[in-house]
Amino acid sequence: MGNERDRMITAKRCAWRSHAVARRPPSTRVLSMHMWPPLGSLTTGWAAMRELARDSVITCRDDGYEVDMDSDRLDVGLVHHWLSTDAFWALGRTRETVEQSIRASVNFGLYGSGGQQVGYARVVTDLATFAWLCDVYVEQAHRGKGLGTWLAAVVRDHLAPYKLKRVILSTVDAHEVYAKVGFVPFPDPQKLMILKDAG
């Protein structure tokens, strides 16, 4: 049953990918394929989130990079390595914490043309009012090719149908990456508060 479902999902993905590539206008460099379930069919909680991530989207770029929302495709060990050793905000984060954060997030894996994972981002969201984009990471050898910007744009586009009131992120020095896809400085930061180390 599970295998049959996986086969159907794979077939659906390939069909969408071929369809989109065939229809690609010559001037379009970045492609997006959206397969959102009807909003009315969403149930609540992690099961819905997981369904959304499993079934939904592969977005392709002309040079072979792709973003896949299938959480099962993630190289969790690699994501943990990146975050715990090279992401200043997550240094020392445990594998258990990374696994839990993946389970409870909408995940975006970035993959090279050979299928290897080269980046990651995740979104914490209620899919109704707000989302938090975080843990954005592009492997060092693949930086400077516009992939960070593209990943942020893919996330933005995937969230767009939900008409969220705000998508928030925090960054120390990568403002330029996010500004390119529409993020602006928080207009009234004095409204924000934080409960540090809550629990």
Q: Which of 31, 42, 76, 87 lies at the binding interface for ligand COA (CB under 6 A)?
A: 87
d(CA 34, CA 57): 6
Q: Which two tokens stand for residue 132?
A: 């938090």
Q: Mask: binding to ligand COA, 10-49, rule CB under 6 A, as x and -?
A: ----------------------------------------
Residues of this chain, 166-185, that bind ligand COA according to CB under 6 A: 171, 173-174, 176-177
Q: How many residues belong to the site for ligand COA (CB under 6 A)?
A: 16
CB nearer ligand COA, residue 32 or residue 54: 32
d(CA 116, CA 68): 12
Residues of this chain, 104-143, that bind ligand COA according to CB under 6 A: 136-138, 143
CB nearer ligand COA, residue 105 or residue 149: 149
Residue 148 binds ligand COA, judged by CB under 6 A:
yes
CB nearer ligand COA, residue 5 or residue 143: 143
Site residues, ligand COA (CB under 6 A): 87, 136-138, 143-149, 171, 173-174, 176-177
